[in-house]
């Protein structure tokens, strides 16, 4: 049976003023998979993610969620987002942060909401932290709390913007393991934007790479293919962590 597309884009174009950032982006994301979107700074990863979650409109083109053009209602019900800065409300406890979307978008009573909050915290390894303020948590724990909130409404698809940025390598590896665990145990489809090559190899069999010179998708495949076999010199350079030609001729002062 063919894998089911949960998201599909047709000819997405994004520009700011005269500057085109994304051109002719056609991509499919399949149910239950983890897809990683990579590319150098400024190539349009965040712009693409904002378009896929309905926070920005493309200049042209269409996004389909489960076969229908994206609507605010469908996004609220089906899409979860882990923002790069976590976007936790600092004056609310971790539990209140997670309860917020549940109270806003369901008719559940207080007891049921508290039960879900405890369950989501358990899923991310933060059982018992509902009464802590975000400021009382480490960077890795804040990320987990934000992940619990992104999962509050049991989304079909979860977008994660640089989930390991700013974390030490051990905490980053823990977040990767947690992402894999949640994907395997709940089947949640995940779209991860990251710069972290180690995470790319851990998380996925399918990478979509965006370009800055050639706008839009420049390569797609397994991390191993992009690193070792892809003919595009820019892709090889990125995966092998090499500087741009001509940027190493610094003078001694
Ligand atoms: N609201 C905006 N107004 C004008 N230009 C914008 C806006 N948002 C993004 N851009 C420009 O679009 C380009 C792509 O930005 P975007 O943030 O999507 O890239 P990115 O790949 O996510 O970068 P990074 O890896 O540094 O986060 C950049 O040149 C940026 O300056």
Distance, CA of 113 to CA of 171 (rounded, Å): 29
In this structure, what is the dihedral angle of CA atoms 180, 202, 67, 158, given to the nearest 10 degrees?
Answer: 50
Please tell me if the CB atom of residue 43 comes closer than 6 angstroms to any atom of ligand 1. Answer: yes
Q: How far is the CA of 40 from the centre of ligand 1 (A)?
A: 11
Is 22 inside any structural domain? no
Q: Choose the weakest-confidence range: 141-145, 164-168, 247-251.
A: 247-251
How many domains in the chain?
A: 1
Give the ipTM of the model, two decimals please.
Answer: 0.96
Choosing from 15, 19, 42 the residue with most ligand 1 atoms within 8 A of its CB, the one to mutate for a pocket test is: 42
DSSP states of 74-93 as a string? HHHHHEEEE-TT----TTS-
What is the CA(82)–ligand 1 centre distance, in A?
18
* Residue 24, domain member (yes or no): no
Q: Which domain holds residue 102?
A: 33-52+71-240
Q: What's the 152 CA to ligand 1 centre distance in angstroms? A: 29
The closest of 191, 109, 195 to 150, measured between CA atoms, is 191
Q: Which residue has the higher pLDDT, 243 or 249?
A: 243
* Residue 18 beta carbon below 6 angstroms from any ligand 1 atom: no
46 lines ligand 1 (CB under 6 A): yes
Reported as a single tens digit per residue, the pLDDT across 67-90 is: 999 888 888 889 999 998 889 999
Q: Tell me the CA–centroid distance for residue 166 and ligand 1, in Å.
A: 19
Whether 193 is covered by a domain: the verdict is: yes
Q: Which CATH number fits the domain that encloses residue 162?
A: 3.40.50.300
């Amino acid at each position: 049976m063919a894998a089911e597309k949960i998201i599909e884009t047709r000819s997405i174009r994004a520009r700011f003023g005269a500057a085109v950032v994304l051109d002719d982006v056609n991509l499919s994301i399949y149910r239950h998979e983890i897809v990683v979107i990579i590319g150098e700074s400024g190539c349009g990863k965040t712009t693409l993610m904002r378009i896929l979650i309905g926070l920005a409109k493309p200049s042209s083109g269409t996004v389909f969620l489960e076969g229908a053009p994206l609507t605010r209602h469908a996004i609220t019900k089906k899409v979860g987002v882990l923002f790069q800065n976590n976007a936790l409300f600092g004056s609310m406890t971790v539990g209140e942060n997670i309860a917020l979307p549940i109270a806003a978008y369901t008719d559940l009573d207080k007891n049921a909401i508290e039960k879900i909050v405890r369950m989501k915290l358990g899923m991310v390894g933060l059982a018992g932290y509902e009464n802590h303020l975000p400021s009382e948590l480490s960077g890795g724990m804040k990320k987990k709390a934000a992940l619990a909130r992104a999962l509050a409404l049991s989304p079909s698809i979860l977008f994660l913007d640089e989930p390991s940025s700013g974390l030490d390598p051990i905490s980053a590896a823990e977040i990767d393991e947690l992402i894999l665990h949640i994907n395997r145990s709940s089947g949640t489809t995940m779209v991860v934007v990251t710069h972290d090559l180690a995470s790319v190899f851990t998380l996925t069999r399918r990478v979509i790479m965006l370009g800055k010179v050639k706008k839009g998708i420049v390569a797609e495949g397994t991390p191993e293919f992009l690193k070792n076999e892809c003919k595009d010199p820019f892709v090889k350079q990125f995966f092998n962590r090499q500087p741009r030609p001509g940027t190493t001729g610094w003078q001694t002062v």
